[in-house]
């Protein structure tokens, strides 16, 4: 029997999963134990009954802006970056299914022999079936990172929040990896994040979240079960609120 006190706080969320999170201690690419740990976390999070869509990054393989610095034209470099997110999406799909939870990788860049193409209708259908949806290929357009499609997917799927699973345990007054005096926020508003130029997420993504009143939770993916803990209200993260 369902106990109301145990109901998940959120009905549907978008998890923005950093590509770099999937490389663990490796210098690049996929680190199998880390992939399995995160897949187990997502499968356990889905058991709470919250519908979960993941927007996966590609920084463990390639970032367009770094390719452009090396002389590849930016739009082409971003195409390579989008392909990197599909590689992560396919790996994550299999790792989640290995934990006994169905998952579907949907790509914004059609590649039908590899996976289904993203459509809102297909995503909502899979979510309603309890499958973890992995949105790969970003927006399908260059000149973005996957922060923006995370908020776009949250808006179009009417998600209750974007959970940004990243390398730091919240939003700080400055980048904590560079400034040892940076102080952590428990909460702040979208307006503050934009006005203070807090670079934990792209400004375009913050602006879209502000316009659509979508809360963002920034938290560290380093520990076991950190995504599920956030859904259970037990995790540590910064809440960026309207
Ligand atoms: N004010 C800030 N507060 C917290 N982190 C910040 C801040 N400014 C910059 N950062 C940096 O932002 C990073 C998170 O954003 P980043 O775009 O690098 O990663 P991601 O989106 O999680 O990963 P990926 O690009 O691989 O998908 C943190 O690791 C942190 O070093
Ligand atoms: O909508 C999008 C999303 C991403 N890209 C490219 O992919 C890489 C990897 O994404 P990260 O968020 O940096 O992990 C990104 O650097 C872009 O080059 C894109 O073109 N469009």
What pLDDT tens digit does each residue of the chain (242 aa) get?
233 445 457 999 999 999 999 999 899 999 999 999 999 999 999 999 999 999 999 999 999 999 989 999 999 999 999 999 999 999 999 999 999 999 999 999 999 999 999 999 999 999 999 999 999 999 999 999 999 999 999 999 999 999 999 999 999 999 999 999 999 999 999 999 999 999 999 999 999 999 999 999 999 999 999 999 999 999 899 999 99
Helix (H, G, I), strand (E, B) or coil at 55: strand
For strand 216-220 and strand 237-241, is the pairing parallel, antiparallel, or unpaired?
antiparallel
User: Residue 45, SS3?
Assistant: helix
Q: Considering the entire predicted model, what is its pTM?
A: 0.95
Q: Which of 176, 185, 188, 201 to mutate to test the pocket of ligand 1 (most atoms within 8 A of CB)?
A: 176
DSSP characters over 61-98: T--HHHHHHTTS-HHHHHHHHHHHHHHHHHHHHHHHHH
89 CA → ligand 2 middle, Å: 13
For residue 82 and ligand 2, the question of a CB distance below 6 A is answered with: yes
DSSP symbol at 20:
G
Number of domains in the chain: 1
Query: ipTM of the assembly?
Result: 0.92
- The CATH number of residue 16's host domain is 3.40.1160.10
34: helix, coil or strand? helix
* Collapsed DSSP state (helix, strand, coil) of residue 154: helix
Pocket of ligand 1 (CB under 6 A): 18-20, 57, 59, 145-147, 166-168, 171-172, 174-177, 198-200
* Domain carrying residue 11: 4-241
What separation in Å is there between the alpha carbon of 151 and the centre of ligand 2? 14
């Amino acid at each position: 029997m369902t106990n109301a006190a145990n109901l998940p706080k959120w009905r549907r969320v978008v998890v923005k999963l950093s590509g770099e999170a999937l490389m663990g201690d490796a210098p690049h690419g996929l680190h199998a134990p880390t992939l399995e740990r995160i897949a187990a976390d997502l499968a356990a999070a889905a058991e709470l009954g919250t519908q979960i869509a993941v927007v996966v990054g590609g920084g463990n393989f390639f970032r367009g802006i770094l390719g452009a610095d090396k002389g590849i034209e930016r739009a082409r470099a971003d195409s390579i970056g989008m392909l990197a997110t599909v590689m992560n999406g396919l790996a994550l799909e299999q790792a989640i299914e290995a934990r006994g939870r169905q998952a579907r990788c949907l790509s914004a860049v059609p590649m039908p022999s590899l996976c289904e193409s993203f459509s809102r209708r297909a995503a909502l259908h899979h979510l309603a079936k309890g499958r973890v949806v992995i949105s790969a290929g970003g927006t399908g357009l260059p000149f973005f990172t996957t922060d923006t499609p995370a908020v776009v997917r949250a808006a179009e799927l009417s998600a209750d929040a974007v959970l940004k699973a990243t390398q730091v345990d919240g939003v700080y007054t400055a980048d904590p990896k560079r400034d040892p005096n940076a102080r952590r926020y428990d909460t702040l508003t979208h307006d503050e994040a934009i006005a203070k130029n807090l670079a934990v997420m792209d400004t375009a993504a913050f602006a879209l979240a502000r316009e659509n009143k979508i809360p963002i939770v920034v938290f560290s993916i380093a520990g076991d079960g950190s995504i599920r803990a956030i859904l259970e209200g037990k995790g540590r993260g910064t809440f960026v609120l309207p």
